[in-house]
Chains A and B, each alone.
Chain A
Amino acid sequence: MTSRRLLYVLPLVLLAAAGAGFWAMLTGMQRGSFDPRGVPSALIGRPAPAFTLPALEGSGKPGLSSEDIRAAAREGPVLVNFFASWCIPCLVEHPNLMRLAAEGVAVFGINYRAGGRDDPGAVEWLRRHGDPYRRIGVDHGGRVAIDFGTYGVPETFLIDREGIIRWRMAGPITDQVLADELRPLLRRYR
């Protein structure tokens, strides 16, 4: 009799477990720490891919190569940020990139141009919202973006002193992400 009674409680227990799971996912989505479409990066723990990209004309900044990243990384962890002027979430994270750059963190930009699409507004966008980048490379055809395993913008990679990719954020670096994830990592790899 008792086992039969337990059977009646079982659906309730399953329902409670499912509810707890959904609640955790929804709060995670709200805080930006959980992305249901998120894909873990295959590059974590591996050296940053080798590349050389031309400068963004009119930005007044030099182009970007993996050698530049490696040289800057010897001084401390660096960020490589894929951005585009048409990308709204890029605008969301932009103040945080500006803040980090002002604090002395080396932030490198890669202007994302997948599928042969141009980004004619990039220079104007940086002029209007500020330019946090030490160097900016233009990725015509999205080849470097694919070498980094990105699937949209913004995406940001943290590279340590040895040139190893330690962290990837697919999506904007919100205040929450900055405080909970990026700042502790910047301290750890300092």
Chain B
Amino acid sequence: MVGPDSDATTGSGALRRGRGGRARPPIFLAAALLAFAVSSSAQAVLDPREMLPDPAQEARAREIGRGLRCLVCQNQSIDDSNAELARDLRRIVRERIAAGDTDEEVVRFVVDRYGEFVLLKPPLNAMTIALWASPAVLFGLGALSAWLYLRRRRPAPGAPAELSAEERARLKGLLTE
């Protein structure tokens, strides 16, 4: 399975040229790495030509894009990814917004094609209830076991009985010895 431009395989043009060349001094490697770091962060940001003229619509497109998974890179949103599929999806999101779709309609358009996995924040439903409930369940189990453990360690209730007169006399004898 190969994405058209997954970040790991092709990445930026700068890195590709560096990889294609013969062995080079380390200074070149450092420069290439720096160029890669700079260019990848610069490319991850949206191309200005992609943006919608209306800032309010563009803000909605950004918000939707941040919630959609890029299926080539899988742990990036389409807003952060420079894969070609992410670019195509960003364009489709903007087209739908410009055509008058609501945010929900745009998201449904993408989910209809890619399934709920495309949502970076999974919706709460019968399929995902275990996922959403697991933090609370684990916390509850931890709290329960901690309570059981502490209760078992607690000393027996009630203060020790008072010393009898005989015991008090013996204690006094021991202390004055």
Contacts and interface: CB of A to CB of B under 8 A. Distances in A.
Interface of A: 35, 37-43, 84, 87-89, 112, 114-117, 141-143, 145-149, 151-153, 170-171
Which of A42, A147, A171 lies at the interface centre, i.e. has the most chain B CB atoms within 10 A of its CB?
A: A42
B113 A151 contact: no
Contacts of A87: 2
A171 B3 CA distance: 10
B4 A114 contact: yes
In the A-B complex, the 6 residue pairs with the closest CB atoms: A115-B84, A151-B71, A42-B115, A114-B84, A149-B113, A171-B1
A37 B75 CA distance: 11
For the side of the interface on B, what is the size category?
Answer: 20 to 34
Interface of B: 1-6, 71-72, 74, 83-85, 87-89, 91-92, 111-115, 117
A37 B74 contact: yes
Given A142-B84, A142-B85, A143-B88, A42 B1 contact: no
Contact of B115 (A40, A114, A171): A40
A133 to B, nearest CB: 20
A151 B74 CA distance: 10
Contact of B89 (A43, A89, A146): A146
